[in-house]
Amino acid sequence: MSVRAAILGLLAQRPRHGYELHEAFEALVGGRAVWDLKPAQVYTTLQRLEEAGLVVRTAVRRVGGPDQHVFALTEAGRAELDRWYAEGVHSSHQRDEVFLKIVLALGDEAADAEAVIRAQRATLYRDLHELTTHRSEAAHLTQAMLLDKAIMHIEADLRWLEMADARLHEMRRHAVPVLPERRRGRPRAEAGDR
Amino acid sequence: MSIALRLAWRYLSGRKLRTALTTLAIVFGVMLIFGLNGVLPGMRDAMQRMMLAAIGEVDLTVTSASSAPFPAEVAQRVAEVRGVGAATPVARRTVAMPAKPDYKVTSLVVVGIDPATAYAVRPMPVADGRLLEERDDAPDAAPAAIASRATAEKMGVKVGDAIVLPSASGTTEVTLVGTIDSPAPPGSDELYVPLSLAQEMFALGDRITDVDAVFEATADRTAVERAVKDRLGDAYTIGGIATESTLAAGFDAAAAIFNVLGFFALAMGGFIILNTFRTVVAERRHDIGMLRATGASRRTILGLFLTESLLQGAIGTGLGLLAGWGFAVFVSGVLRGYIQGLMRMEDFGVVFEPQAWVLAVGLGMGVTVLAAVVPARAAARITPLDALRPQIGDVYEKAATRRAWAGLALIVVGAALLFVGSTGAMGLGCVLILVGMSLGAATAVKPITDATSRAIEAVYRSEGGVARANLQRNPGRAGATASAVMISIALVVMIFGMTSSVLGGYGEYAKRTTGTDFLLIPNNLIVSGGAVGAGPELAQRIRATDGIAAVATLRYAPAVVQGMTVQVIGIDPDEYGRIASFRWTEGSSDADLERLNRPGTVIANGNFRGQTGLGKGDTFTMMTPAGKRTFTIVGGGNDYINAKLPTVYVSQDALAELWGVTTDIMVLANAKEGADRAAVRAALEGIARDYPSFALYDSAEWQKVTDNLFAQLRATYTTLALMLAIPSLLALLNTLAIGVLARTREIGMLRAVGATRRQVKRMVVGESLLLASVGVAAGLVAGVPLSVFVVKAITMLGLEFPYVFPWSGMAAAVAIGLAFAGLAAWYPARQAAKLDVIRALRYE
Amino acid sequence: MAIVETKGLTKVYGSGETAVVALDHVDLTLDAGEFVAVMGPSGCGKSTLLNLIGGLDAPTSGTVVIDGREISTLSDDEMTRLRRERIGFVFQFFNLIPVLDASENAALPLVLNGTGAAEARRKAEEWLGRVGLGDRLRARPDQLSGGQQQRVAIARALVSEPALVLADEPTGNLDSKSSEEIASLLRQVSAEWGRAVLMVTHDPRIAAHADRIVFMRDGRVVDDTKIADAASARVAMERVGLL
């Protein structure tokens, strides 16, 4: 889900080809060590998005190489992306996804990072409310222990969210990390790393 | 509202030490006022009883308006008035009983009655023996007497026993012929003798002192009283005892002075209470804010604090009343021994009159509540929001400058009033200066302690600075404390100034007016009232004694001037001038003595001038037994013995003519040069033995008596000064204890960063010394005009004393201030030094 | 029914260049039985909001209507009476009078209102029983734990049957277990006993007990979210990935 949304988000910034998308994603999350996204996954996702009519592909001729396919967002894609921004993410997978939402929204003039945070916060508090309600009704300590773990996870997420909220302004000033200037051609070094 | 009371009680009992200290301040003031007011009435009553015969249960008593004896035929005139059932002449004298033989009574009222008419007025049921009969009144009858059974038992005499009484001829021996079953008037013992015997004993001639009468059963009492009055004219007084006695007035003056001192003590207590409540309000800021948030109105908060002060006042006043009772018992015990050493006076108890209760309770409660009003109002102004703010520490507080300017203005006005010249203005000026200084105290704390702390920092190098800063950051509290100390110190200076001036002056009086070689004076030092004079033969015998060069005598009669009883002292102008003299005032001199030989002339003493406003050259009328007479004042002078009372001096001829008094009340004698003093003394002692109501002194003994008296007075006043200083000790103690408590955390911090216990202790002691220095400095300044004022006020009463600058008082005040500062610091300093660092840091 | 309604509520401290806007046009409505938490970083104006609603402080502009009464027009005495009868306070510190015992503390608003001592005590003890302190009626504050003290404070806030309970960091001074208990109790205050509860807190876990959270920043309300939704805890657990 998050990779799909991330690709939509990155394409919302500007049309890109597959390799560029992969590079931009890595720049966003801080490298493969943090979030290892396989180039193949990028391509299969793009394919699915294209099939769903969320992106369109155009071929671009390159001097001294094969044609490159550049992907761009369709109107349906934009709508899908906006829906994603607006929705809160429940706590299980949110770390990555919320992060993506915030940083992508920062680079997306059509999106509102504050609104993303608000929505996320509301979602988390709702979960927390339910959990604490359940917690105060818990019959056994063992149940309470499990609930406590969940509650503490949310608390941690909320803390992170508050921090993100506090840093929004600063992040906006620094803008989204961009690709370093690279030589043309297929990067071999990266492939060799693997 | 019970919640207010409950809260007040819990808060008060929660801080026991502080409550105790604050309560003590009230207790002390109330104790002084209540205690002294408990002693004085008893003493006054005893004095009155001693001097004035108690009247029995009769409907009407007639005395002369001048209090002097009057002709016996007046009784007949009273009896003739319609509605009077019976009237009887009475000659009544209180006699001071000699120590030997011991009849176990210090004074006895000897009542001369006319057996023919007395029992119709006052029935006397026989208990034992018989009543006095008309034959006892015959000129050659054996001297007989009767007494109530209770009195006889008390005196240890039975029917048939002889009783020796002081009389004009020295002593008279009477035989107790019967006892009666009538209760004696409380506190006085009466002995009844035939009228003629009493007249003889007291050299009254044909005169009597009272007429007692009873009305017919159906008579209209007021109408009969009026008829008697009309019949006798205004030379006579109808009714009971003349309560307007000069001594009673003297006692009232003493009571007023003591009340003022007590009030000062309470004023100091007021400052202590003010401080305590300020601290309490600061401490309970959160509680107050919370209560306000919970729905307590400003009025409720005000009520809460006033209730607390009321409770505090009630506890303090209650304990003060108790302490006052103890104090009164103690003081009357001490005074009893002291007074009975001076004169034979009967016992007096501790009596609390309603006004003593009202005064003590009113002032005790009043001062407490009044002192709490300002902090309570501040408390009511605290907003509920304060409950939510964290505690702001004991930071620098700004002294109220407006108050300081008002204080300065008062001081300036007060100082100006000192130089107006009138004593009243001067008194007001002193008060204004004190009030002004109290108002300005908070502002003066900084400059004064900046100066004095140099001395302290020289000794306490590392701690002095902290002590000064601690003191200066709460100038309001420091100012109130310093004000209390100031009042104490000012009073000390005042009392010392007064004693050194007055006693010094009196010493000079004594030398000049009673500085003869020998002195025969009644056991009862106060000449007037009740003392039995000696007939002329005493003076004659002394004159005839070998080795005596000159003799002068003083005689006494009462008179009324401007409605006030005055002493009339008869002297022989020639004789008196030869061996003693007045301390002259108003430009008079020994030459004026001679002018007394002219009829209608008097010399007046300062007290008389002070009380009547009459001076040299003035003419006034005086009520004498012979009627109203006009006199001219030809000179002003004081003698030692009579200086305390309003007195005029007339020639003995005039006294005999107008008052019919020929008995001597005091005999002064000078020995011939080169005479054997011991022999003269022995001879005089022989004579004096026949006159047990007189005591013989030679000049050295007399000097010793006066010296003792002065030493005792000085000791009394020094004690009083010390006692008045005690509230300042409490004020210092209270402030320091509060300071240590409020700064518990800071002290913990200081200890944590390396201050030793000793250093912490020194900080508190240093603060105490600085605080005292402010009070002492102000007190010394305020005390000087106060002492000048007191000496001036005494001069107004007719005694002129040279003002002696109270150097000793200043020194004493500084010593007291320093000693108290150390004493007050001792406990709080120990507490501060004992603080456990960890717990102190956690203290909230 | 709205128990609290603020319109354009603004509070400025100081004036001129040193003026600090503590509260900036805040509109807030609270219904009966609603439990609302106010959150935000320190200095965001949440305590100021609470103080203005409680009538402890006067707004610079804007209005506060409590229970149908516009409070900025009330005199100090009237405001005091309104507080006494319609508002209960629970503070973080200094909640109780140290010299009174639990039941006396809880009875304070009634006693201040002139209710008879016996009646006040009876009601206070009834509420103390409800907050679970039926066995510590005679204990003085220093003999109670922090959580117990706050229970007394809550009983006191409820004893006069107020429409609104204001709580300023009621758990700020407590350990987590006691905090949880106090928060549950406050939820009970709104859910079972039908009072509107406005609570300032910085602890998410405590705020999560509320029905609604108002987020504030720089004197403004930046978000106002209902957090009590229909989802069950089981769903929440699944979402967290624990079930």
Q: Are B375 and B390 in contact (CB under 8 A)?
A: no
* Distance between CA atoms of residues B648 and B605, nearest Å: 6
Q: Which candidate from B7, B300, B388 shows the least CB-CB separation from C99? A: B7
Q: How close is the nearest chain B Cα to the Cα of C241, in Å?
A: 42
Q: Which candidate from B3, B293, B298 shows the least CB-CB separation from C56? A: B293
* Distance between CA atoms of residues B99 and A150, nearest Å: 106
Q: How close is the nearest chain A Cα to the Cα of C212, in Å?
A: 9
Strand partners, C23: C11
Say which residues have a Cβ less than 8 Å from residue A51's Cβ, sequence separation at least 6. Answer: none
Q: Which candidate from A90, A132, A153 shows the least CB-CB separation from C208? A: A132
More confidently predicted of C30 and B502:
C30
Q: How close is the nearest chain C Cα to the Cα of B18, in Å?
A: 16
Residue B7 pLDDT greater than 90, yes or no: no
Cβ atoms within 10 Å, residue B624: 26
pLDDT at position A182: 53
Q: Which residues of C touch A (CB under 8 A)?
A: 41, 180, 183-184, 187, 204-205, 207-211, 213, 215, 222-223, 225, 227-229, 231-242
Confidence of residue A194 (pLDDT cuts 50, 70, 90): very low
Reference B224, options B53, B71, B62, B65; nearest CA is B62
Using an 8 Å CB-CB cutoff, list chain A residues near C36.
none
A89, A91, A130, A148: which to substitute to probe chain C, counting the most C Cβ within 10 Å?
A130
Establish if A134 touches chain C: CB-CB under 8 angstroms.
yes
* Distance between CA atoms of residues B759 and B833, nearest Å: 8
Tell me the three state secondary structure of residue A74.
coil
Counting beta carbons within 10 angstroms of the beta carbon of residue B709, is it exposed (0 to 12), middle (13 to 18) or buried (19 or more)?
middle
Q: What is the mean pLDDT of chain C?
A: 86
Q: Structurally, how many domains does chain A consist of?
A: 1
Contacting partners of chain C (3+ CB pairs under 8 A): A, B
End-to-end Cα spacing for chain A: 25
pLDDT at position B243: 37
* Distance between CA atoms of residues B669 and B699, nearest Å: 10
ipTM over cut 0.85 = no
Establish if C58 touches chain B: CB-CB under 8 angstroms.
no
Tell me the three state secondary structure of residue B94.
strand
More confidently predicted of B7 and C219:
C219
Q: Which candidate from B10, B293, B387 shows the least CB-CB separation from C100? A: B10
Q: Which residue, chain included where needed, has tokens 């107790």?
A: B176
List the 141-160 stretch of A: residues with Cβ below 8 A of C: 146-147, 149-151, 153-155, 158-159
pLDDT at position A189: 45
pLDDT at position C155: 92
Tokens of B162: 């002889």
Q: What is the mean pLDDT of chain B?
A: 80
Going from N- to C-terminal start, the domains of chain B cover: 1-52+252-392, 78-241, 400-514+707-844, 524-692
Q: What per-residue string of b and e applies to B329-339 under the rule 16 or more CB within 10 Å gives b?
A: eebbeebbeeb
* pLDDT tens digits, one per residue of B527-562: 444 456 677 888 888 888 888 888 888 888 777 788
* pLDDT tens digits, one per residue of B45-89: 666 554 443 334 567 778 777 777 888 888 888 888 888 888 889
3-state SS string for chain C: CEEEEEEEEEEEECCHHHCEEEEEEEEEEEECCCEEEEECCCCCCHHHHHHHHCCCCCCCEEEEEECCEEHHHCCHHHHHHHHHHHEEEECCCCCCCCCCCHHHHHHHHHHHCCCCHHHHHHHHHHHHHHCCCCCCCCCCHHHCCHHHHHHHHHHHHHHCCCCEEEEECCCCCCCHHHHHHHHHHHHHHHHCCCCEEEEECCCHHHHCCCCEEEEEECCEEEEEEECCCCCCHHHHHHHHCCC
* Distance between CA atoms of residues B213 and B225, nearest Å: 10
Strand partners, C65: C5, C70
Nearest CA in chain C to B15: C99
Q: Are B691 and B553 in contact (CB under 8 A)?
A: no
* Distance between CA atoms of residues B699 and C170, nearest Å: 89
Using an 8 Å CB-CB cutoff, list chain C residues near A118.
215, 222-223, 225
Residue B185 pLDDT greater than 60, yes or no: no
Q: At what angle do helices C233-240 and A141-174 cross, to 10 degrees?
A: 60
pLDDT at position B345: 53
In B280-335, which ranges are E strands? none
Q: What's the half-sphere exposure (Cβ side, CA atoms, 13 Å) at B158?
A: 0
Using an 8 Å CB-CB cutoff, list chain C residues near A92.
238-241
Strand partners, C29: C5
User: What string of DSSP letters covers B642-663?
Assistant: TTTS-EEEEEHHHHHHHT----
User: How far, CA to CA in Å, does B75 sit from each of B81, B213, B228, B657, C48?
Assistant: 10, 9, 11, 22, 95
Nearest CA in chain C to A128: C208
Using an 8 Å CB-CB cutoff, list chain B residues near C117.
2
Confidence of residue B743 (pLDDT cuts 50, 70, 90): confident
Confidence of residue B323 (pLDDT cuts 50, 70, 90): very high
Domain assignment of residue A32, given as a range: 2-193
Residue C206 pLDDT greater than 80, yes or no: yes
* Distance between CA atoms of residues A89 and A95, nearest Å: 9
* pLDDT tens digits, one per residue of B349-404: 777 888 888 888 998 899 888 888 888 888 888 877 776 665 544 444 555 678 88
B383 Cα distance to chain centroid: 50
Q: What per-residue string of b and e applies to B38-56 under the rule 16 or more CB within 10 Å gives b?
A: bbbbbbbbbbbbbbbbbbb
* Distance between CA atoms of residues C76 and B91, nearest Å: 78
* Distance between CA atoms of residues B426 and B786, nearest Å: 8
Contact flag B287-C97 (C-beta cutoff 8 Å): yes
More confidently predicted of A29 and A177:
A29
Domains in chain C (CATH in brackets) are 2-94+163-240 (3.40.50.300)
Q: B249-258, B738-747, C28-37 — which is least confidently predicted?
A: B249-258
Mean pLDDT of C65-77: 85
More confidently predicted of C199 and B792:
C199
Strand partners, B93: B110
Nearest CA in chain C to A94: C240
Say which residues have a Cβ less than 8 Å from residue B648's Cβ, sequence separation at least 6. Answer: B559, B561, B566, B567, B568, B569, B602, B603, B604, B605, B608, B622, B631, B633
Residue A120 pLDDT greater than 80, yes or no: yes
Mean pLDDT of A22-26: 84
Q: Are B176 and B183 in contact (CB under 8 A)?
A: no
pLDDT at position B532: 60
Contact flag B7-C89 (C-beta cutoff 8 Å): no
| CATH code, A83 | 1.10.10.10
pLDDT at position B61: 78
Reference C194, options C28, C83, C54, C31; nearest CA is C31
Cβ atoms within 10 Å, residue B686: 11
Confidence of residue C229 (pLDDT cuts 50, 70, 90): low
